Structure 1
């Protein structure tokens, strides 16, 4: 109901008044009869245009009406006389509008802003119709913006997923605790998929792939992609490098990213300070003696 009231209000506000329709129709007649670029002022030869005074308008109308009056012209046929009478009637209507201050003000407004055009059911301003190249450019720009925002969202989701996976692996490796073993030992864990993880006592998590181990680090993901990550840069730069870049200097597409360094939590610093001397037991475990 509210939307209907808003729509009705907008329709009433934007609707042309009867005086506006009168001006539009008369303007169309003048352009059809005298010329497509003709205005009321140019027809009356008013060089000051909208700034013309009422006296200037009155004088210009009298001069033109004398030369166009049907009774002072010789016609070879009734058809020619009829056309002259229509032209004289149009001139009279033009004079009536320019001599009326409110209607003249409306006419001057449309002179400055442009006249709407007749479209089957009423007068409407012509819609902007961009060319093919401009349309392609705007579509490409829109797709690039969507790609950029999707890139940021996906990276945040991947960052969160990796961080959660590390927390889950550490909790399982440390026996359900979120605190590393006090003996300082590293732990191995095989999950339900058969993947082997190595959890260091400092909280780093590695995945073992045969004889190699790879650090799992969410900070490898750049959460703030830059201009070079965007499609609006990458596609034109790649096309340039494949064409003109082979002759001229290619565009540098290298993306630099400085991974943030995680500072050691304050609680871990305090824990290390409270530890004594580091000792290695015969079984390979690392323990700390009590501080004296």
Structure 2
């Protein structure tokens, strides 16, 4: 039943979209007028009237035009003008017409028949045009005149559609796949990443406290007390003046801390896991669990989940797991924005030069200066020691 309804719908649209018999007559007559009278000649141009002419003006123009192209009148005019046309042609060629006996021959019967045949065709064409403009098909003709006439293409009349070139096709594919499809893939990956971290946090809480809400379990069972804060060690080297490299590193660390505080201050309205984001350090009792993939996780008493990893120096570091810290991808991360930026950087950016290259060169020169200063200081100290030993 459903298939029958779909087929009936297609048939209905096919019947609606098909041209009528009157439309085919208008198309054929328009092609005939364009072929014999001119490419841009319309029915109104043939009658020498305006498109907004009324029926009385159309009838008057038709009668005037029909008297001009009537076959009998065309035949007489053709025979009368034939001799004049011949004499004009000879004069243009430089032949003296008055020299000797001049005998003007009339047109042959074949030429007369051709002229009459052409007049009959023009008269019949004029009658059809007048019938269209004076009948109910004038509105249909005005519609096609305004929106364009379809062209004959072997099996019927069809409109000429836009055919994009290779450049347009490639540009369209780049916008569709590099923009829409790439953005959809980024959103899908972002959602899957959030689901993975959310499931990770729930499993860690369930394994640690037996509940996904993060309520701590029985204290003292496989728990790790939070290490007390260590007092800062006094170092005699603290009084040494900070060199340029250390100062630059301290400034970078301060900037990173400010960015981390701004990123951690964003809290989701409804995360579904009660994941705290304001506190980044573990509080209260903690419990270490092992995830399915072998990663070590630490869950504190309020439900914070931390990922424990070893850095290059062999020190243990803890990273807070929070789905709200996973940033949503934007359109700037798609190929539509990244590829033009990359091309600009590789072409125009190299010519104009960027400030980052200058900063990198300055940073590369600073260690050399510091090494030279250190070497000079050590050399001066060794010289002073040598002088003291000589005095002693």
Quick check: TM above 0.5? yes
Cα deviations by residue, 1:42-67 (Å, 9 ceiling, x for unpaired) = 12211x22x01112212222222222
Number of the residue aligned with 2:54: 53
Q: 1:234 aligns with which of 329, 333, 338?
A: 338
Secondary structure at the counterpart of residue 40 of structure 2: coil
Secondary structure at the counterpart of residue 139 of structure 2: helix
Number of the residue aligned with 2:268: none
CA distance in 1, matches of 2:153, 2:210: 77
Residue 176 of structure 1 deviates from its aligned partner by 5.9
Q: 1:173 aligns with which of 208, 211, 228?
A: 208
Higher helix share: 2
Q: 1:85 aligns with which of 111, 117, 120?
A: 120
Equivalent positions of 1:13-162 (< 5 A) are 13-46=16-49, 48-49=50-51, 51-73=52-74, 74=78, 76-100=111-135, 102-143=136-177, 144-162=179-197
Give the conservation status (yes or no) of the 8 Å contact 2:183–2:331: no
Segments of structure 2 that go 5 or more residues without pairing to the other structure are 79-106, 220-283, 355-392
Structural RMSD (CA): 2.2
> 1:249–1:45: structure 2 CA closer, same or farther, 3 Å change rule?
farther
Secondary structure at the counterpart of residue 128 of structure 1: coil
Number of the residue aligned with 1:280: none
Q: 1:219 aligns with which of 324, 328, 338?
A: 324
Bigger relative contact order (CA 8 A; separation at least 6): 2
Number of the residue aligned with 1:203: 303
Q: Which protein shows a greater Rg?
A: 2
Number of the residue aligned with 2:360: none
CA distance in 1, matches of 2:153, 2:218: 83
How high is the TM-score relative to the length of structure 1? 0.77
CA distance in 2, matches of 1:115, 1:174: 78
Secondary structure at the counterpart of residue 130 of structure 1: coil
Secondary structure at the counterpart of residue 209 of structure 1: strand
Residue 236 of structure 1 deviates from its aligned partner by 1.7
> 1:249–1:92: structure 2 CA closer, same or farther, 3 Å change rule?
farther
CA distance in 2, matches of 1:29, 1:126: 19
> 1:177–1:12: structure 2 CA closer, same or farther, 3 Å change rule?
closer
